[in-house]
A and B are shown apart, each in its own frame.
Chain A
Amino acid sequence: MAHAVLSKARPVVGAVALVCSMLAAASAGAYAQDAKVITEWDQQTNATSSKVLRDGADRFEKADPGYKVEDSHVLNEAYKTKLKVAFGANQPPCVFESWGGGPLHEYVKAGQIVDLTPYLQKDPGYHDRFLNTSWNAVTYDNKVYGVAAENASAAVIFYNKDIFKQYNLTPPRTWDELMHVVQVLNSHGVSPFALSNKNKWTGSMYYMYLVDRIGGPEVFRKAVNRAPGGSFDDPAFVKAGEYIQQLVKANGFAPGYNGLDYDVGASRRLMYSGRAAMELMGGWEASTIENENPAFYSKLDFFPFPSVPGGKGDPRDVIGTVGDGFLSISSECKYPQEAFKLIQSLTDEKAMEGRVGDKKIPPVKNIAVSDPFLKRLQALIVDAPNVQLWYDQELPPKLGELHKDTSQALFGLSLTPQAAAEQMEAAAKAGS
C-alpha cells in the first residue's frame, strides 16, 4: 500500500525536480549574460517614431556595453494607465516618457522621480541645446525632472483652401472676421468647424486660446499658482466661455460635436468630406492627414487663432507644448547615471534628425526643418512670446479633469460661463 503511494508520488517528485532544474538553468542563464537591464517606456507607437528611440537605445548600448535597454511602446490612454499602475506598485520603468505638467508633478511629489538638475548642471552644453521654453513643463520648485524629447507643437486652425476659395473667404485675423467666415460657410450649408469633443481636450483648445487672447498668459498662470489676484473666476475665463457659446449658437460646429470621437477620426472625416471647413487642432494633425488622406493634404492650410476685440493677449501667443514627450528617470532605477546617458542618446543630434524625418519639430535650437508646413509652424512656436502648455497637462490631474468636464458642458450649453468659472475656482481653492 505504502509502496503504491510512493510509486504514485514519484512522477510528481520527478516533475518538481524537473521544474527546479529548469528554474536553476534559467537563472544561471540570466547570470551568465550579465547584462544590466534598463527599461524604457514611451507612447511612441508608430513605426518611425519608435524606431528613432530604439536607434538611440542601440547607440547607448554600443557606447556602454554591459547595459541592455528594454523598450516598450504603448498608445496614449493605455500608456497613462500603465504608468500609473506601475508607479503605484513601485515597479516603474527606469526611463519613461510623459507629457510633463500636472500629472508628472504628482509622481514628483511622491518622490518617485529623479531630480535631473545636477546632471544638467554638469553638462551645460547639453542643457543649452534645448529651447528655453521646453523646460517649463518639467520644472517644479526650480528643479528639473525631465528632458523634452519628441516634438514642439501648437494648436492652429487648419482649413480647406478649396472651400475658402470657392466662397471668397480669407483666413480671419480677428474674432469678428471669424464670425463672418462662420456665417458665410453656414449660408452655403458647410459647417464651419469640425470638432470631436467626446475627448474634451479637443474643445478645451478653444477655451485656452480665448483665455489667452482675452486676458493674456498671466491670468491662467496666476490662477494656477494661486498668486495674489489670481482666480479661475477671473472675467477672462468667464468671457472665454461666453465666446465659445456665441460660436456654438452661431452653428459654428458640425452637428454631434460633443459625442464625436477624435480617436476614430470623426472630425477629420468631416474635413475630408468637405462638410466642415476648419478644425482647431495640434500641429500633428498635418502629418496624420498626410498619412491618412494624401489627396486631401494638398487642400490643407492653417492660420493662427484670431485675436479678440479689446483683448490683452498677444495674438502671436500659442497654446501647445515644447517637447510633447519628456524623458524622466524613476527613483527606483538602479542605474540613474547610465539612465541619464540613455536619455542623452535618445535626444542626441541623430535622434533629433530622425524626428525631423518623422515630421516633428524637435524641441532644440538651430535645427533645420525642410518641410514648408513644419517650417511655418516652427517659426510660429519660436516667435511666440508665450507658449502655454495644454491646461489638462499643466493643471493638477483633478482640476484638469474638472476643466475638461466644464468646457464640454460649455459647448453643450448646459453650464453658464459664470458657473463653469466658479466651479473651477471652488475646486482650486479646495485643492490648495
Chain B
Amino acid sequence: MNIALSAVSARRARISSQWLVIAAFLAPALVLLAVFMLYPLVSSVRLSFVDWNGLGNNAKFTGLTNWINLAHDAVFWQAFGNNVILAVTSVVIELPIALVLAVLLEKAGRGSRILKILYFLPLLMSSVAIGVLFKNVYDPNFGPLNVGLRAMGLDVLAQDWLGDRRFSLASTIAVICWQNVPFYMILFLAGLSSMSPELYEAAVLDGASEWTIFWRIKLPHLQGTVRTAVLLSVLGSLRYFDLIYVMTGGGPENSSELMATYMYRSVFSSFQLGYGSTIGTAMFIIVFAVAMVAMRMTRRYATEV
C-alpha cells in the first residue's frame, strides 16, 4: 500500500517534471515565434488602421480608411492579379519541367551527376545577381536575346522585353521559373529515390513500358510530393518579391507590380507606413486563406485516394 502510494506520487512527480521539461524546451522556440512572428503580425494589423509616415509619434488613427482605399485601389488589384498569374504559371510551367527533368535524371543514373549539378546552379545564385544578368540579356538594344533574334532574321520577335507593358510580367516570370525549377526538381528527385526499386523491376518484368511505369507507378508514388510542390509554389508566388523588384521594380506603369513590391514602394518610397501595413495585412489574409483552402482540399484528396 505504502509502496503503491509512493509509486503513484512518484509518477505524478515525473509527469509534472515532464511537463516542466517540455515547457523548458519549447520556451525558446515559443519566445522566438512570439517575438518574430506574432508581434510583427499583430502590430502590422494595428498599423493598418493608422495614417503614419513611420517616423516619430504623429500616427493618426483613421479607422477603416486605409482598408476602404485599398478596396478601391486599382494598382493593388492589378498587383493581386499579377500574383495570381504568377502562381498559376509557376504551377503550370515550373512543376512539369521539374518533373520531367527529375524523371530523366533519375533514369540516367550516375552518368547524370554533372547535369544534376548544372541544373541545380540557378538555385544557388542570388536573385539580385540573376536579376541584373537577365536585365542585360533582355536589353532591347544590346541584349543577347534580341541580337540573336535579329541575327536569325526574326526582327519581328525582337521585342522590348522589360519596357513594354505587354511583356514585362511574362519576361520576369520566365526568369522566375528558370530560377525555381531546380528546387522542385530536387524535391521530385528525392521523392523518386524513396521508391523501392523492386516495384520498378517487377513492372519491367511484367512488360510495362516506360510510359506506363511513369503514369501508373512513378507519378502516383510522387503524389504527396506534387501536392507539397504545388502548395509551396502557390504560396511562394503570392508572396514573391525579389526578381521583380530587381528587374522591373514593378513597372513600367505597374504592369509587373506584385503585392509585395507595391507594399515596399508604399512604405519606403511614399512614406506611407500605415497604408503599406494595410497592403501587408491584406497579403497575409490572402495567403493565409489560400493556404487553408489548399490544405483542406489536399487533405480530402489524401483520404480519398
Contacts and interface: CB of A to CB of B under 8 A. Distances in A.
Interface stretch (B11-19, B52-60, B177-185): B52-60
Interface string A228-271: 00000000000000000000000000111111110010100110
A198 B58 contact: no
Nearest to B143: A256
Interface in B184-200: none
A112 B55 CA distance: 8
Nearest to B158: A255
Given A266-B139, A408-B253, A258 B163 contact: yes
A287 B253 CA distance: 31
A197 B252 contact: yes
A112 B56 CA distance: 7
A88 B142 contact: no
Name, among A84, A261, A401, A408, the residue most crowded by chain B CB atoms within 10 Å (CB to CB).
Answer: A261
A414 B253 CA distance: 9
A412 B55 contact: no
Nearest to A109: B58
A400 to B, nearest CB: 8
Contacts of A51: none
Interface string B243-271: 00000110111100000000001011111
B160 interface: yes
Contacts of A259: 138, 140, 160-164, 168, 248, 251-252
A264 B55 contact: no
A273 to B, nearest CB: 7
A275 interface: yes
Size range of the chain B interface in the assembly: 35 or more
Contacts of A264: 132, 135-136
B54 A255 contact: no
A398 B272 contact: yes
B62 to A, nearest CB: 13
Contacts, number: 112
Contact of A397 (B138, B248, B254, B270): B270
Interface string B148-182: 00000000000011111100100000000000000
A198 B269 contact: no
Interface in A59-87: 80-81, 84, 87
Counting chain B CB atoms within 10 Å of each CB, the highest count among A103, A266, A269, A396 belongs to A266
A405 B164 contact: no
A103 B271 contact: yes
Nearest to B161: A259
Contact of A412 (B141, B165, B249): B165
Contact of A408 (B57, B168, B252): B252
A275 to B, nearest CB: 6
Contacts of A275: 141
B139 A398 contact: no
Contacts of B55: 84, 87-88, 106-107, 109-110, 112
Given A259-B162, A397-B269, 8 more contacts: A80-B268, A106-B55, A109-B53, A256-B141, A256-B160, A257-B163, A269-B142, A415-B253
Interface of B: 53-58, 132, 135-136, 138-142, 160-165, 168, 248-249, 251-254, 265, 267-273
10 contacts: A88-B55, A103-B271, A112-B55, A198-B249, A256-B164, A259-B252, A264-B136, A266-B139, A396-B271, A397-B271
